Amino acid sequence: MKTRSLIGVAFAIAGGGAACAASACSSASPGAAVDDASTPEAAVPDVFVAPPMEASAPDADDGGADAPASSGDGGCPDDGGIPDDLACTGLYSDWATKTIAPDAVAYTPALVFWSDGAIKSRWLYLPPGTTIDTTDMDNWVFPVGTKVWKQFALGTQIVETRLIWKTSASLWTYLDYLWSADGSSARRFDDGETNVNGTTYEIPSTSVCQQCHGGRADVVLGIDLLGTGVSGAQGVTLAGLANAGWLTQPPARTTIAIPEDSTQKAAAALGWLHVNCGSSCHNLRGRAAASQLYMKLLAGELYPADGGLGPVDGLDTYTTAVNKPAMAMPNGVSYVRIAPGDAAHSLLPLMALSRDADSGFSPMPPIVSHIPDTVGEAPVSAWINALGDAGP
């Protein structure tokens, strides 16, 4: 394996993006998730180069607890405990100037989860000398001490920063930090809040995190085969991770393609459904496993053993949804999950666009989101309508 300082390497960039569901979290409770696509993302450099680790940076064996100066209110914990102040989490090297620490790598996944129009920024910290276990390419396992931050802003106002932190081999700690209106402090906030700043935006309670993040063997969403490998990934890419020796088993391909069919509309739809539905809930591990509707794009289906790119009609999204009767019966009416040629009467898009449970169509995702991603979902309905003309 190649030797490396924490991230003293360049993570190259790809191109493209899609949309997604709800990644929210706080405190040392189970997880929940979010990522978006049809809203602006904070800029990520074309090539991000982080300098070598400094001696004062978090240690892998203490879970990364050491941190820069606090924004006030009593300083940072010196015992490896959970900080009440965002400034103590290791994201910033200087809180006063809001300078991001050199070992926190900015990134944007190729496929992003919808978060009700919030603008998001993301950073990854991996402890030095560690690797991501990619034995199961569909379920990466991250080293103890890994931290992933996600910042949410409404317009120019930063509202919250979420942190998931692997504090032991079997425990991820979920934290949420609420920013003051003047941006001078960001304090731990576990309880959640609705109608933030007079909007419909919701900060979720940390108690719901596991509802989404539990769909992964190791909870991280977005930093995975598709999030880093599909064209459009920035800051942390599959090729960059593989070339730098951060993956225990690098994949044969470091540029990942989503299959297309005769409609020429499948790839965009499949990507949106993967990140907003399949990655977190609609998979064999997820909260919606019992529905037997699976929309996670799996490595073995994308790249079958016989070589080449797997066909669209061989993917779980197709085989468990197209012409399959839905279990749910909104208003007592039977629906097909995906009715080729008829998105208006396919239950999958109807639920994805619903935010009114009283309509009979259960909103998807079922928590946190209050505004449907009409722009991100549009390729799904376009694909369904085109299926009626082009077939599989």
- Sign of the CA dihedral running 310, 312, 317, 322: negative
Q: What is the pLDDT of residues 295-350, one digit of tens each?
A: 999 999 999 877 788 999 999 999 999 999 999 898 889 999 999 999 999 999 99
Binning the chain into helix, strand and coil, the percentages to the nearest 5 are 20, 20, 60
The pair of three-digit structure tokens given for residue 211, joined into one six-digit string: 């509802």
Q: What is the pLDDT of residues 184-225, one digit of tens each?
A: 999 999 999 999 989 999 999 988 888 888 878 899 999 999
The pair of three-digit structure tokens given for residue 391, joined into one six-digit string: 């077939």
Alpha-carbon dihedral of residues 23, 25, 30, 32, nearest 10 degrees? -20
Please enumerate, as own/partner, the contacts of 298-306 that have beta carbons within 8 Å and a separation of 24 or more.
Answer: 298/138, 299/137, 299/138, 299/225, 299/251, 300/138, 302/256, 302/257, 302/258, 302/259, 303/252, 303/253
**DSSP per-residue codes, 30-51:** -B-----SSS-B----SSEEPP
Q: Are 150 and 162 in contact (CB under 8 A)?
A: yes
**Is 363 a residue whose pLDDT tops 90?**
no
Q: What is the pLDDT of residues 109-120, one digit of tens each?
A: 999 999 999 999
Q: What is the pLDDT of residues 18-69, one digit of tens each?
A: 333 333 333 333 333 333 334 455 555 433 333 333 333 333 333 333 333 3
Q: Are 133 and 140 in contact (CB under 8 A)?
A: yes
**pLDDT score, position 41:** 59
What's phi and psi for 165, nearest 5 deg? Answer: -135, 120
Q: Is the pTM of this model over 0.85?
A: no
Reported as type and span, the H/E element at residue 165 is: strand 157-168
The pair of three-digit structure tokens given for residue 376, joined into one six-digit string: 């991100």
Q: Are 157 and 189 in contact (CB under 8 A)?
A: no
**Is 354 a residue whose pLDDT tops 90?**
yes
Q: Are 94 and 208 in contact (CB under 8 A)?
A: no
3-state secondary structure of 338: strand
pLDDT, average across residues 371-390: 92
The pair of three-digit structure tokens given for residue 113, joined into one six-digit string: 């989860």
Lowest mean pLDDT segment, chosen from 5-14, 57-66, 322-331, 369-378: 5-14
**Is 392 a residue whose pLDDT tops 60?**
no
Q: What is the largest CA-CA distance in the chain?
A: 65
Question: Which residues fall within 8 angstroms of residue 66, CB to CB, at 6 or more apart?
Answer: 56, 57, 58, 59, 90
Find the length of the chain.
Answer: 392
Residue 133 is given by DSSP the state B
| Separation between Cα atoms, residue 351 and residue 357, nearest integer Å | 10
Beta carbons within 10 angstroms of residue 66's beta carbon? 16
Angle 266-273/374-390 helices, nearest 10 degrees? Answer: 130
Q: How far is CA 13 from CA 49, 85, 91, 182, 252, in A?
A: 12, 32, 22, 34, 18
Question: Which residues fall within 8 angstroms of residue 238, CB to CB, at 6 or more apart?
Answer: 225, 228, 229, 251, 254, 255, 256
| Separation between Cα atoms, residue 317 and residue 175, nearest integer Å | 32
